[in-house]
Amino acid sequence: MEEFRYIPKNELFKCSVDLPGARKFFVWDGVPEGLPFREMPALDVSAAFDVSSRMERMEYPVCLECVPKKAVEIVPEEGVLTQVIFVRVSPSEVLGRVRINCDRPGSYEVVLCSHTTGQERFSTKETVEVNVCGGAKLDLVVMQNENSLSVHKSDFRIKAEENSSLKINIITLHAGNVSNRLQCLLSGKKAECCLNGLYLEDGEQNIDTDITLIHNAEECVSHQLFKGILSGHSRSRFTGEVVVSPSAQKTEAYQANNNLLVSDDARASSDPHLVIYADDVKCSHGSTAGSVGDQELFYMRSRGISESEARILQQQAFAAAVLEQVSKGELRERLSCLVERRLRGENTVCAGCGKGCC
């Protein structure tokens, strides 16, 4: 006879990234605890998104027909950090849908964390809709920390209206095969958006980042900074497209992807694009892939910093530019600490490991 043992869900995963004053919610295998879970209107696949020239050619990480009707709804409260922790428990495929709705002007902060428990092969496909209404400001941090067998495909569909401000930082500490696709539409005048990402990879990991950012109104500003540190046999692929539509005069758009290759066998591919239909714009893009600087390394070693420690300092420094973008101080410190531990090859399971760091 098989023995069953009941383990309450809240015993399975303890998040100790304890952010004082935060509203904290869990989502277990796609099902939320304490947050609304209800039917939502169909996904916005309006013509505006389709300005992108690549749109048709791209394969969606999540097929549009598969997007569930029921969505986890996150309505952030002004002045209170909302932390939602997605935990994978049973090794079935999860098709998820999440809606972050900032439908009133104000300043909002949301942290989404995704984790796996145990060493099973988890597959997660989700659509994350983010709406930032006129005059609203959203600071969203997405932290991904999963096991090396996990497959996680996220399709972010972001809409920022007039005079809104949006910042998204995606920190991928660890995972097996990740695909983050972001489609961001700046639909109203003077919308601002910062999309940043940091991905740390080793072993056989693979991380794809695919961005389509559409400036569809005048005087919008966008900044993108995506950085990757790759070791082992890991792979990363960055595809980024910024589209400036004919009406989007006085656009400012900047995009950068920098990769640090720590091992001989790691590979980074980077493919930034600008598609500009307006004539009065400031846009730039660039990408780099390189290894650690020998001069810096020698300088540090000449001060008595061992080679391995010097390499970690360099990698931390490389990551710092993205981490600095996390506005909330406590969260930034904890993420920096997790990144450091990850670079040292230590345990980054942030659940009660007793290291006192997070």
Partner 1 sequence: MENLLEIKNLHARIGDKEILKGVDLVIKPGEVHAIMGRNGSGKSTLSAVLAGNTNYTVTEGSITYRGQDLLKMSPEERSWAGIFLGFQYPVEIPGVTNVNFMRTAVNEHRRQKGLPPLSAAEYLKLMREKMAYVEMDPSFSSRGVNVGFSGGEKKRNEVFQMAMLSPLLAILDETDSGLDVDALRIVANGVNRLKTSENAFVVITHYQRLLDYIVPDVVHVLYKGRIVKTAGKELAAEVEAHGYDEFE
Q: Which residues sit at the interface with partner 1, rule CB under 8 A?
A: 294-296, 298-307, 309, 313-314, 316-321
Assess contact for 26 and 33: CB atoms under 8 A: yes
We find the least distance from the C-beta atom of residue 144 to partner 1, in angstroms, to be 22
Separation CA 214–CA 166 (nearest Å) = 14
We find the least distance from the C-beta atom of residue 121 to partner 1, in angstroms, to be 36
Closest to partner 1 by CB, 5 or 302: 302
We find the least distance from the C-beta atom of residue 320 to partner 1, in angstroms, to be 4
Assess contact for 154 and 146: CB atoms under 8 A: no
Closest to partner 1 by CB, 3 or 308: 308
Nearest one of 295, 232, 237 to 266, comparing CA atoms: 232
Closest to partner 1 by CB, 74 or 343: 343
* DSSP H or E stretch at residue 232: none
Determine the angle formed by the axes of helices 329-343 and 307-323, rounding to 10 degrees: 150
We find the least distance from the C-beta atom of residue 231 to partner 1, in angstroms, to be 18
Separation CA 151–CA 177 (nearest Å) = 5
Closest to partner 1 by CB, 57 or 303: 303
We find the least distance from the C-beta atom of residue 347 to partner 1, in angstroms, to be 22
We find the least distance from the C-beta atom of residue 286 to partner 1, in angstroms, to be 16
Closest to partner 1 by CB, 148 or 287: 287
Closest to partner 1 by CB, 283 or 321: 321
Separation CA 282–CA 234 (nearest Å) = 34
Look up residue 279 and give its amino acid: D
Helices marked H in the chain — which ranges? 9-12, 294-302, 307-323, 329-343
Closest to partner 1 by CB, 276 or 300: 300
> Token pair 């609203």 is at which residue?
136
The two most distant CA atoms of the chain are separated, in Å, by: 73
Look up residue 107 and give its amino acid: S
We find the least distance from the C-beta atom of residue 309 to partner 1, in angstroms, to be 6
